[in-house]
Amino acid sequence: MCAITGVLNLLGAPVAAPRLIDMVASVRHRGPDDTGFHVQGPIGLGHARLAVIDLAGGAQPIHNEAHTVWVVFNGEIFNYLELRAELEARGHTFYTQSDTEVLVHLYEDYGRDFVQRLNGQFAIALWDAGARRLLLVRDRVGIAPLFYYANPAELVFGSEIKALLAAGVPARPHLAAIDQIFTWWAPLAPDTAFEGIHELPPGEWLEADARGVRTGKYWDFDYPASGNYTAAPEAALADQLRSLLDDAVHIRLRADVPVGAYLSGGLDSSVIASLINQHTDVKLCTFSIGFASAGLDETPYQQAVVDDLGTQHARMDCEGGTIADALADTIWHTEIPVLRTAPVPMRLLSGFARANGFRVVLTGEGSDEVFGGYDIFKEAKVRRFWAARPDSAWRPLLLRRLYPYLDITRRGQGYVRSFFGQGLGDVEAFAFSHLPRWHTTALCKQFFAADVQSALAALPPMDVRLAASLPTGFTRWHPLNRAQYLESKLLLPGYLLSSQGDRMLMANGVEGRFPYLDHRVIEFAAALPPRLKLRVLREKYLLKRAMAGRLPAAVLTRPKQPYRAPDIAAFVAARPDCLDLMSPATLRDYGYFDAVKVGHLVRKALSGRAVGQRDNMAFIGILTTQIWHHRFIANPVRLQYRVDSSMSQGTTPCRLNHA
């Protein structure tokens, strides 16, 4: 992974090179190894490189033989060797050994449809000089980020919003997106927390030229209508799945630098580590996080996998004080408020991996979305069963099997109905599976200031917009597949692959690779009968069958443990000074939250009484919104860079010097 930036002047005026240099400098953490530029007439392309493939010759931008097609690219094309062989057989010549160069030649042969040939994770900016057209493309599931700002005069784009701000795009809060974060944990693309700045959604392209800006979709998660599933024996499907995953892992080991793996102790990362071991003659290096709290720590399971696979393992212990100290810088990288501190340890872990000499790691992200692993899927199944007898006193008690740490019996039927009983009257509602989670999260909005609540009330309802974005065949899908789609289009790209994924990895110049999100694996799993993903209340059934006998039984059969990190306690104990941003004066100045209500929450936290999920989400959401506003809106940092004297038109490496 790297960073790409660029400016297209839609009126034809030349792009100023110093502006482009500032943009690249703002995201240099993503690509610490090199920078490169192509500035010619109305187009300027910039690149900060994290060297992974073709270390000596893979510098970007890269062009075709005639210098008429130019590309900057963030990510990896894992099937580039196969594509290169095809292209050479058709007469194309290459001047590098990089995966990037296949892009310009594929474009020459297939036009915009070249993206259908790619197996990878990518954000691509391609300039067609003959057509005077810019093409932006983002990978199918949203692993690589890509943001843009457009007005009648120009289009500005970059891998992070910081690059757009460095180009002079104004930083203004987008209240509707913040409202979405406080329900869905992330904005619905193309919205971002900044007004006027858009995110190119996963699986979409954007074209810009003198006629304006156009967008379109080339891929989406898709499921068969209920009943039209893959028909094959279960054992054969398990073998096919294992073969697909094995190849997805194999091609993601292609690199000219060492490749490691994250190991959480759960099923998903353990499967990946096991498959990696089959394709390497050197000892696999694995990395994990440990917590002091037994309720958060997974060290015993991590060690069981390490002992079984014989990996060279390194563990980083993460304490509450460390999380509190690192939160502000973490929000600088997420570029949005978050409702959990979970991104912080992930940023620290990537720094740990980098310090140990690794710039590429494989992870288990995506398995829960693809194979039906989340408790929310099981919860929805129980709630559907409950809805058939809504007056039943025992059916909701099945939720104890999912959440044994909740004393549902003691709390009583009223609590269970208020928490899990959302929407029981309409089990076919498009968001039935997610209503309890969204309702609980949205309760944090009670802390919004009155004028913010009034402004949001005047906007079209969020659920209407979300419903309008769903595919036409959504209602014909099985309920599990509907829930999977919602999870895969909202939480996965907007939070897990961003705030907990790419941003935390690339903050330290580390590339994450995600075998479960190989589009072949996704499409295979989408066609499976739902019972092979969720068998009664046993999640990821076929994946477990495919890996039976290849992992320790304790890992293969353990209940899923959601990844969490210390929240409120980390701040009130270790960093009470962080509460300065939650002072009444600052709250009133920034304007998002009611100072009196937040004051009650802060006092509750300081007294040790704010221990529930709702209080934790509200506290962290308020604090990170205040940090976000402080860093990006109230006190924007503008680093000035001096242009190297060698900078000229064309493609030129540029040395960045602080003024």
- Listed residue (618, 614, 625, 658) closest to 639, CA to CA: 658
- What tokens does 360 get? 């590429």
CA neighbor of 502 nearest in space, from 514, 489, 511? 511
Which pairing describes strands 133-138 and 120-128: parallel, antiparallel, or unpaired? antiparallel
CB distance 103 to 114 below 8 Å: yes
Q: CA 22, CA 3: separation in Å to the nearest integer? A: 13
Cα of first residue to Cα of last residue in the chain, in angstroms, is 28
Spell out the alpha helix ranges (H) of 185-298. Answer: 234-251, 267-277
Question: What does each C-alpha distance from 605 to 102, 447, 571 come to in angstroms?
Answer: 55, 15, 9
Measuring CA to CA, which residue among 366, 364, 324 is closest to residue 348? 324
Check the CA dihedral 278-283-289-294 and report its sign. Answer: positive
- Distance (Å, whole) CA 226 – CA 479: 9
- 211 burial (CB, 10 Å; 0-12 / 13-18 / 19+) is exposed
Amino acid, single-letter form, for residue 67: H
SS3 state of residue 304 = helix
Q: Please state whether 551 falls in left (phi above 0), alpha (psi between -120 and 50) or beta.
A: beta
Q: How far apart are CA 54 and CA 59, in angstroms?
A: 9
Measured CA to CA, the distance from residue 61 to residue 51 in angstroms comes to 13
Query: Distances from the Cα of 562 to the Cαs of 70, 83, 266, 383, in angstroms?
Result: 43, 38, 9, 20
Residue 2 annotated as catalytic: yes
Q: How far apart are CA 249 and CA 182, in angstroms?
A: 35
For tokens 């913040």, the residue is: 178
Q: How far is residue 449's CA from residue 311's CA, in Å, rounded to a whole number?
A: 52
If residue 62 lies in a helix (H) or strand (E), which one and from where to where?
strand 62-63
Q: At what angle do helices 435-442 and 175-184 cross, to 10 degrees?
A: 120
Determine the 3-state secondary structure of 470 from DSSP: coil
- Which of the following is catalytic: 2, 318, 444, 654? 2
User: Would you name the residues annotated as active-site residues?
Assistant: 2
